[in-house]
Amino acid sequence: MKFKRLAEYFEKIEKTASRLEMTGLLAELFKEVSVEEIDLAVYLSLGMMRPKFEGIEFNLAEKMMLRVVSAAYKTKLKTTTEEYKKTGNFGEVVANLAQPGQDANLTVAQVYKRLLDIAMDEGLGSQDRKVNNMAKLLNDLDSLSSGYAVRIPINNLRLGFSDMTILDALSWMAKGDKSLRPELERAFNVCADIGEIAKVFKESGLPGISGIRAKIGVPIRPAKSERLPSAAKIVEKLEVFGVEGKWDGLRVQIHLDKTKNESAGWRRKTKSLFEEEKYLVRIFSRNLDNTTAMFPEIAKAVAELPVKSVILDGEAVGYDPKTGKLLGFQETVQRKRKHGVALKAEEVPVKVFVYDILFLDGEMVMGKTFRERRKMLEKVMSGVKEGLELAEQEIISDAKRLRELMIKYLKMGLEGVMCKKLTTAYQAGARNFNWVKLKKATEGELVDTIDAVVMGYYAGKGKRTGFGVGAFLVGVTDGEKIGSIAKIGTGLTDEQWQELKARSTKLETRNKPAEYLVDKNLEPDVWLKPELVTEILADEITKSPIHAFGLALRFPRLVNFRDDKNLSEATSKRELEKLFKMQKNTT
């Protein structure tokens, strides 16, 4: 397929606000594109070059892209900058500056390769080479194509859909409806590479999709928990179940392969790959980032496991090296860094509390019951030394004992407890009552916190003038949309206001993002891209005539910035409505 044709599809998709029409356009695109290029078209449509977990970044900031555009169209940097200030959209800048008739008739594969080469270029002089090669690419494309190509390296394509819409479109491509979505989503949950899912489905249909299995090096989308308002309700729902602590740390999925088998997926090298002579390991975050290089002590501890290959699910928690006391999330999250890793590892060492096993010695074991997986996990973890710890578990069937365990874990500094059915399989990517969390809830507070997306902020007044921000607007998700639920202007320390401003500055955008649902009377002074997730505590959820989904938070306050979560991990409208219904119950 010619890249120009792909750009034409992008233009049609960007012009529609209808989810159904958008899905239909993607389905048409997937029908038209070849098997050899469908994965490339999928990655490009999502504004990326490879799956997120491979960590490929262009490292081309907006200032460098201004240099690219100036070099491509032989304009002064000042002129290009002024054009950009007018619109805030590089696509429009390119459309205004590009010469008519410009088109080298490049294919999707050719453009993809050139973009990937630019992204992978590193070392001495790489920044100048990136600018020059990106400028050459724009020169070889027509104005429409270059208008979309220029937005990919700066993470600004944002056509308004996500992985889930891709799965819907693949189903529409084959059946004309969403009936195949469950099978496609099951495959995507165990192999979180949306391009590979598309390629396999295009080439082999459902038989190919049903054959997709977990493999070392490709993350499995983690299982999620549901909420119930009280110990009594949990016992009523689960009857007999395992109880573990709920740590306030970083979710980690650990992959280990000691065989170096080519089929295990290790031949595709990435910058963040941790590799030693005798073993290979990757550590993925909750939102599927490759964080291996951030946790060298975990990687070394994993090598001691008595297995050939394994995938483990657990929680990394920082601890005081002098006292052994577990640290809170804000201290643990300091370990998420690219620089100064060794020094910070000494200051804030981490240990992983391992609570599930998904893959063992070449076999996917997610389909086994939790009771069976626990026995396998206990065997794998026997004799493990420093760095990894088997999560303590007790099987119970009464509310009194559950409350006692809740108090025990709260005294240890944990968030609460996690209650797990013993008879169910691990359901990757699913949120259901196989796992139920019970967190600390004091009188007048919700039974859980809200993971809300920061949508924008308001200018500060008085003392907050110095912070540059006086309040901020947060929302929850509903499919691809994000609707407001609270304007927060109190409950933050001076340090938190300063941090909010610093984080917000990097995400500012000229125009209101298309996915935002905000009443005109609530519109902030500065809009932000939907990338910052915060943990919010509130007294209750109330009905609201002004917020997007008819619900709002009463007395909301900031708990944490959740760097370990992205939009897919944010609280949804459906979850908010559930919390609204259950908040009157007591523990």
3-class DSSP state for residue 404? helix
Give yes or no for residue 369 having a pLDDT over 90. Answer: yes
pLDDT at residue 266 in the model:
40
pLDDT at residue 429 in the model:
94
pLDDT at residue 60 in the model:
85
Is the separation of the CB atoms in 466 and 460 below 8 Å?
yes
**236 C-beta neighbours (distance < 10 Å), count:** 11
**Tokens at residue 482, please?**
């994000």
| Lowest-confidence segment of 68-72, 76-80, 295-299, 579-583 by average pLDDT | 579-583
Mean pLDDT calculated for residue range 147-152: 94
* Nearest alpha carbon to residue 142 among 88, 80, 38, 72: 72
pLDDT one-digit tens code per residue, 33-56: 999 999 999 999 999 999 999 989
Instruction: Give Cα 512 to chain centroid, integer Å.
Output: 22
Is the separation of the CB atoms in 450 and 536 below 8 Å?
yes
**Tokens at residue 85, please?**
């200030």
In the structure, what pLDDT confidence band is assigned to residue 510 with cuts at 50, 70 and 90?
A: confident
Mean pLDDT calculated for residue range 135-154: 93
Q: Between these two residues, 394 and 103, which has the higher pLDDT value?
A: 394
Give yes or no for residue 388 having a pLDDT over 60. Answer: yes
Burial of 469 (0-12, 13-18, 19+ CB in 10 A): buried
User: From CA 337, how far away is CA 286, in angstroms rounded?
Assistant: 15
Give yes or no for residue 442 having a pLDDT over 70. Answer: no
Give yes or no for residue 264 having a pLDDT over 50. Answer: no
Highest mean pLDDT, choosing among 59-63, 262-266, 504-508: 504-508
In the structure, what pLDDT confidence band is assigned to residue 222 with cuts at 50, 70 and 90?
A: very high
pLDDT at residue 463 in the model:
63
pLDDT at residue 464 in the model:
65
In the structure, what pLDDT confidence band is assigned to residue 270 with cuts at 50, 70 and 90?
A: very low
In the structure, what pLDDT confidence band is assigned to residue 268 with cuts at 50, 70 and 90?
A: very low
Highest mean pLDDT, choosing among 6-20, 33-47, 130-144, 371-385: 33-47
Mean pLDDT calculated for residue range 253-267: 68
Give yes or no for residue 269 having a pLDDT over 60. Answer: no
Mean pLDDT calculated for residue range 243-258: 95
pLDDT at residue 444 in the model:
52
Percent of the chain whose predicted confidence (pLDDT) is above 70:
94
* Nearest alpha carbon to residue 186 among 52, 20, 367: 367
The pLDDT mean for the chain works out to: 90
Mean pLDDT calculated for residue range 150-168: 91
Positions annotated as catalytic residues are 246
pLDDT at residue 262 in the model:
43
pLDDT at residue 472 in the model:
96
Beta strands in 292-386 (DSSP E): 309-318, 350-360, 363-364
pLDDT at residue 14 in the model:
92
In the structure, what pLDDT confidence band is assigned to residue 441 with cuts at 50, 70 and 90?
A: low
pLDDT one-digit tens code per residue, 352-362: 999 999 999 99
Give yes or no for residue 12 having a pLDDT over 70. Answer: yes
504 phi/psi in degrees, rounded to 5: -65, -35
Give yes or no for residue 278 having a pLDDT over 70. Answer: no
Domains of the chain, earliest start first: 224-439 (3.30.470.30), 450-582 (2.40.50.140)
In the structure, what pLDDT confidence band is assigned to residue 100 with cuts at 50, 70 and 90?
A: low
| pTM of the entire predicted model | 0.85
Q: Can you tell me which residue has the tokens 């390769």?
A: 113
pLDDT at residue 380 in the model:
95
Give yes or no for residue 27 having a pLDDT over 60. Answer: yes
pLDDT at residue 544 in the model:
93
Mean pLDDT calculated for residue range 141-155: 92
Mean pLDDT calculated for residue range 561-573: 91
Give yes or no for residue 465 having a pLDDT over 80. Answer: no
Beta strands in 411-544 (DSSP E): 416-421, 431-439, 450-458, 471-478, 481-488, 508-509, 516-517, 526-528, 533-537, 540-543
Percent of the chain whose predicted confidence (pLDDT) is above 90:
68
| Lowest-confidence segment of 52-56, 101-105, 238-242 by average pLDDT | 101-105
In the structure, what pLDDT confidence band is assigned to residue 324 with cuts at 50, 70 and 90?
A: confident
End-to-end CA distance of the chain: 59
pLDDT at residue 443 in the model:
45
In the structure, what pLDDT confidence band is assigned to residue 585 with cuts at 50, 70 and 90?
A: low
| Lowest-confidence segment of 190-194, 260-264, 354-358 by average pLDDT | 260-264
Instruction: Give Cα 56 to chain centroid, integer Å.
Output: 15
pLDDT one-digit tens code per residue, 198-209: 999 999 999 999
Give yes or no for residue 462 having a pLDDT over 80. Answer: no
Q: Can you tell me which residue has the tokens 């483990």?
A: 312
* Nearest alpha carbon to residue 12 among 235, 2, 24, 3: 24
Q: Between these two residues, 322 and 251, which has the higher pLDDT value?
A: 251
